[in-house]
Structure 1
Amino acid sequence: MSRLRAAREHAATTKSTLTRDFKHLLSPTKLHGYASSVLVREPRPGVRQQDRIKHWNIVPGDKVRIINGPYADKNTVREVASVNKLTNKVYIKGLPGKGRRATGAHLKPEHYSNLQLLVGKYEVPSTSGAPAIENVWATRLSSSKPFFIRKHGVWVWNRYAAATSVALPSSDTAVDVPARKNRIRIPWPSTKKEAKTPKPGSYDTLPEDALAITWSPIHPSTPPFFNPQPRQTPGVNDLEEAEADPYLDANAPIEHFLAAELSNPHSRTKKQKRWQERLAAQAALKEEFVKREMQRARRTGPGTELGGRRITPRESRRIGTWKWQNALVKMKAEERQRKWVARGGEEARKRRQERSARKLRRQAERLQTLVLAKEKNQVVPKSA
């Protein structure tokens, strides 16, 4: 396989169990943006547009077995690592990989038709007469009508085992799907990922150390902040008195009542808190503008400034959002003006204006009091 073809297959491989669109069914000239601009051609010869699978019932995380091919083994349960919807290929964990890494798209692919999906473990009759618990596989799959969840932007449907390796009674309890013989619903694999807790290093703080209470607040009425004894050695400087007085300790901790005043106001935590408060205030202001426009839309009717046209809720929401944006621009301008005044910008502008006025006044005075000295090259015109 060439590097270009391998790159195309790797870009079209997905590990997600969700179906957000059906762009893999588009023609090769319309696949722009699906994976890369390089993927505008067919990923592999022989996989035509009409041969691609639309509703994938085998997704990453499912348990399957291989029934055809060189790795066929009907007694081994394997797990799906990823799928390629452009080539109808499924990558199985546990098979020898193609490259140095045996993960993801580097695993050995198998065709969709060579796999059977595991339905579950059921009690099946055995030759000895006693029921035995065995794996039941779906030999034919079916699905319900897909529907789109706009909130999450995904297509969902239910998958069923229309035929199994061992005949089982129907367990279909869906309301919108009619009961069918040997139609068993197969749940989708769980997409929850286990949180990996890294091992603490030499520079990490253990949880018990972080939660340990190592400081207790000091009240001002307790030493070393309060000295009930008057000064016994007048004339001695403070350093000598601190060394002689047991109630005064230079290494004493700072009282907790000054923590807010002495803390850094520009710390990341405080800046983030102010940013969150500002976003919350903007969101509340937007809701207020939209609510006001919604109330105004309910009062509109014939004879208003809109020429008798009634405002729809969607239009009123857009108008409220537009007014809110203009209000934000005005508020930002006012905030810049306030900061400019607080920095002394207005006083500086007045000083510049006064300096310019003094300069012009001095220039006018110099012109008014200008006296030319008598020199040889000066000639007084004669009167006519």
Structure 2
Amino acid sequence: MVALQSSATEKAYLRTLFNPTAVPFDTSAPMEVHVTKELSNPHSRAKKQARWQAAMNRKSTLFKKFIAQELRNLNGRSIRDARAEAAFKYRQTLENERRAEKKRRWLTKERVAKMERNSKRKVRKAEKQKEKLNQLVLRDAPNQFIPGKSARRQEA
């Protein structure tokens, strides 16, 4: 495949698509350059490896950042203690990120909608129960305590 300046030719191609009267597009250039990313499998080994490497680089730089931050502010600690504290903070940060990602994946649109329906149903049920209790009328019986009437009976 011929090495092309893909960004320049891609911009020219897009400009031609959306504004046909613009600069003419070179039709002899191979189209594969533009669609390679779109047509390649996102689950391919190479892409998985690239994502993994990017994540490892991010984690490494994050760890270095934590260590540098702790070493800048020793506050009477030894370097070893500062590094240990930085490692602890780093692990806590990764754990918080992992939890947030789990929660983000767990809260799908369907699950959120179901949770809202259930909460509305519980509110309606509680309101019905409250209304039933408010409308409840007890018949007079000897085992009932009605403040106004029972107090008068005891006085008499």
User: Secondary structure of the residue that 1:339 maps to in structure 2?
Assistant: helix
- Change beyond 3 A, Cα 1:265–1:348: farther
| Structure 1 CA distance for aligned equivalents of residues 83 and 35 of structure 2 | 47
- Which residue matches 1:176? none
- Which residue matches 1:282? 59
| TM-score w.r.t. length of structure 2 | 0.57
User: Secondary structure of the residue that 1:266 maps to in structure 2?
Assistant: coil
- Which residue matches 2:146? none
Q: Which has the higher contact order (CA 8 A, sep 6+)?
A: 2
| Structure 1 CA distance for aligned equivalents of residues 50 and 112 of structure 2 | 31
Q: 1 or 2, which has the higher helix percentage?
A: 2
- Which residue matches 1:292? 69
- Change beyond 3 A, Cα 1:292–1:359: same
Task: Name the Cα RMSD after superposition.
Answer: 3.4
| Structure 1 CA distance for aligned equivalents of residues 36 and 42 of structure 2 | 11
From 338, 345, 349, the counterpart of 2:115? 349
| Structure 2 CA distance for aligned equivalents of residues 358 and 263 of structure 1 | 51
Alignment of 1:1-384 (within 5 A): 256=32, 257-297=34-74, 300=75, 310-341=76-107, 343-344=108-109, 345-368=111-134
| Structure 2 CA distance for aligned equivalents of residues 264 and 367 of structure 1 | 62
- Change beyond 3 A, Cα 1:314–1:354: same
Q: CA deviation at 1:273?
A: 1.7
Q: CA deviation at 1:289?
A: 0.5
Paired residues of 1:340 and 1:346 also in contact (CA < 8 A):
no
User: Secondary structure of the residue that 1:264 maps to in structure 2?
Assistant: coil
Identity in percent: 29
- Change beyond 3 A, Cα 1:350–1:295: same
| Structure 1 CA distance for aligned equivalents of residues 52 and 134 of structure 2 | 60
| Structure 2 CA distance for aligned equivalents of residues 316 and 325 of structure 1 | 14
Q: CA deviation at 1:366?
A: 4.4
| TM-score w.r.t. length of structure 1 | 0.26
Q: Unaligned 5+ residue runs, structure 2?
A: 2-9, 14-30, 143-152
Alignment length, in residue pairs? 115
| Structure 2 CA distance for aligned equivalents of residues 370 and 335 of structure 1 | 49
Higher radius of gyration, 1 or 2? 1
Question: Could you report, residue by residue, the CA deviation over 1:23-51 in whole angstroms, capped at 9, with x for unpaired residues?
Answer: xxxxxxxxxxxxxxxxxxxxxxxxxxxxx
